[in-house]
Amino acid sequence: MRENDHSVKGTGLILGIESSCDETAAAVVRAGDEALSNIVASQMNLHANYGGVVPELASREHLRNVVPVVRAAMERAGVSFEDLDAIAVTEGPGLAGALLVGITYAKALSFGAGKPLIGVNHLEGHIHAVLMEARQHGGVQMELPLLALVVSGGHTHLYLAEQQAEGAWRYRNVGRTVDDAAGEAYDKVAKLLGLGYPGGPWIDVLARRGDPLAVPFRFGPIKTRTDRQESSIEGKAAIGNSAGRTNFDFSFSGIKTAVLRYIETHGMREAVEARRRALAEHPEWDPHSEEAVALCDRQTLDLIASFQHAVVGNLLRQSFAAAEAFGARGIVVSGGVAANSELRRRFQAEADKRGLPVAFPSLALSTDNAAMIAAAAWPKFMAREFADETLGATPQLRLGAV
Ligand code: KG4
Ligand code: ZN
């Protein structure tokens, strides 16, 4: 697509559209900084009945929601399609059918309104949600390079982020989970304990009532792909971290199994089932309600607190170790799990101790939204990184080189 094909108005206004998972979202953001609107239609209640996101249902809901959500975002911002400089959309990673709804609609709008189209990586969006807010509030000054922890239901990644001379951002993926994402572990453990969905907010709130040191969960060394290759070449068992190489990867499937084993060996199964039944009968009970808390005995609350303490400790250790190893001048935490209160408290305390700035998104921007997509699109717009009509959904889209 050639630049002069478009009517760029110089308003700095970008419409962002996000549909990668279970939220249909649209937002209008000016110059990557000022969100004029930020509309999110969540499907959480729909998927809660199934204990996880059902891809076919998600696509259908996006289809139903995308037009009214975009219309609401434009109305709330008080702008017309004519006023926009570009239309940005999440191209991946995410659910193929869900992504396609947003992409197809964004392409149609781009074509119809004669505005450039910008494809945005969802994970880059999460990082820019924080940077946008840090700039807006003029609070924490983030210097480059940054270490970004993106931690959600689908991802647990560490990126080293830098801005190029022409304004575009470049990323290096320096750590990743080798199995479950941290949010996935929260959701699975909550399910094992008969708590509601999504599990993160339940565990976050209930953990405040338990003893975080009651159950000593431990994270061992992680076998990387290279470790496994080396061990098969050498014909001996891999032992995790190879000497001389630092490993910033994560693994959360082990702690989930450890929680399951704890439930079984401590005779907690019946209590879990009773809790599951009670919560199914009372969908109005949330983790803050006294009725929900009353369903959890001391042993359960201690298990919940210990699980969270271990997960947050692991995220914290890996993030700060990577920041130190790569000379990062600040840490940015984003994604759904960045809403976690213990995580925020402990990251802030560690950052203060080291004199390293740390930034989180507001709660509204920590879950999936489109303001972050429009914000991440701004440097691409300035660098004229436009997509053409071949833009498609890339469910496994990666961010940055490894
Ligand atoms: O970023 P997000 O909205 O969607 C994607 O996965 O991309 O993240 C949702 C995840 C879920 O796994 C949810 O349990 C987790 O974020 N989450 C939390 C909290 N709030 C949401 N995890 C821990 N503590 C929370 N307060
Ligand atoms: Zn997300």
Task: Confirm whether 96 is domain-assigned.
Answer: yes
Q: Does the C-beta of 199 come closer than 6 Å to ligand 1?
A: yes
147 domain residue, yes or no: no
* Listed residue (37, 16, 28, 32) closest to 103, CA to CA: 16
The SS3 call for residue 16 is strand
Q: How many CB atoms lie within 10 A of CB 143?
A: 9
Counting ligand 1 atoms within 8 A of each CB, the residue from 130, 149, 152 with the most, and so the one to mutate, is 152
The CATH number given to whatever domain includes residue 220 is 3.30.420.40
Residue nearest to atom 16 of ligand 1 (CA): 336
Query: Which residues in the chain land under pLDDT 70?
Result: 1-7, 138-140, 224-246
Write down the pTM of the prediction.
0.90
pLDDT digits (tens, 9 = 90+) for 180-223: 999 999 999 999 999 998 999 999 999 999 999 999 999 877 87
Residues with CB under 5 A from ligand 2 (ion): 152, 368
Mutate which of 43, 90, 367 to test ligand 1's pocket (most atoms within 8 Å of Cβ)? 367
Query: Do the domain assignments include residue 300?
Result: yes
Instruction: Say whether both 369 and 342 belong to one domain.
Output: no
268 & 213 share domain:
yes
Over the stretch 328-357, which tens digit does the pLDDT of each residue have? Answer: 999 999 999 999 999 999 999 999 999 999
Q: Is residue 158 one of the residues assigned to a domain? A: no
Q: Is the CB of 195 under 6 A from ligand 1?
A: no
- For residue 210 and ligand 1, the question of a CB distance below 6 A is answered with no
Q: For residue 212, which of 366, 346, 33, 349 has the smallest C-alpha distance?
A: 346
Strand pairing partners for 157?
150, 176
**CA 69 to centroid of ligand 1, rounded, Å:** 22
59 Cβ inside 6 Å of ligand 1: no
Identify whether residues 378 and 340 lie together within a single domain.
no
Q: Which atom of ligand 1 is nearest to the CA of 182?
A: 12
Q: Judge whether 111 lies within some domain.
A: yes
pLDDT score recorded for residue 122: 97
- Please indicate, yes or no, whether residues 352 and 369 belong to a single structural domain of this protein: no
Phi, psi of 59 (to 5 degrees): -60, -45
Looking at the structure, do residues 290 and 200 belong to the same domain, yes or no?
A: yes
Q: Look at residue 385 in the predicted model and tell me its pLDDT.
A: 94
Distance CA 67, CA 26 (A): 10
Supply the residue whose CA is at minimum distance from atom 10 of ligand 1: 153
The fraction of the chain above a pLDDT of 90, given in percent, is: 79
Place of tokens 């697509």: 1
Q: Which two tokens stand for residue 304?
A: 């919940």
Residue closest via CA to ligand 1's atom 13 equals 200
Q: What angle do CA 144, 168, 382 make, to 5 degrees?
A: 130
CB-ligand 1 contact for 339 (6 Å cutoff)? yes
* Cα separation, 26 vs 316, whole angstroms: 32
Instruction: Determine the residue of 20, 123, 155, 186 to mutate for testing ligand 1's pocket, defined as the one with the most ligand atoms within 8 A of the Cβ atom.
Output: 186
**Domain shared by 350 and 369, yes or no:** no
The reply to whether 209 and 346 lie within a common domain is yes
Cβ of residue 361 lying under 6 Å from some atom of ligand 1: no
Strands 86-92 and 34-42: unpaired
Domain that holds residue 378: 3-141+365-382
DSSP strands (E only) in 300-347: 331-334
Predicted local confidence at residue 43, as pLDDT: 80
Q: Which atom of ligand 1 is nearest to the CA of 198?
A: 14
* Selection from 28, 5, 19 nearest residue 58 by Cα: 19
Burial class (CB in 10 A: 0-12, 13-18, 19+), 298: exposed
Q: What spacing in Å lies between the alpha carbon of 401 and ligand 2's midpoint?
A: 20
pLDDT score recorded for residue 5: 55
Confidence (pLDDT) at 401: 86
The verdict on 116 and 201 lying in the same domain is no
**What is the edge-to-edge ordering of all strands in the sheet holding 13-18?**
34-42, 23-30, 13-18, 86-92, 117-121
Q: Does some domain include residue 75?
A: yes
How many domains would you assign to the chain? 2
- Residue 352 and residue 370 in one domain: no
Is residue 291 located within the same domain as residue 318? yes
Structure tokens at 246: 């630092």
Residues 191 and 74 in one domain: no
Burial class (CB in 10 A: 0-12, 13-18, 19+), 29: buried
Q: How far is the CA of 336 from the centre of ligand 2 (A)?
A: 6
Residue 1 Cα distances to 5, 26, 376, 388, angstroms: 7, 24, 20, 5
Taking the CA of residue 339 as reference, the ligand 1 atom at the shortest distance is 26
Examine the domain organization and report whether 123 and 191 are in the same domain. no
Residue 173 lies in a domain: no
Ligand 1 pocket, 21 CB below 6 A?
yes
Asked whether residue 334 is domain-assigned, the answer is yes
Report the C-alpha gap between 115 and 111 in whole angstroms. 7
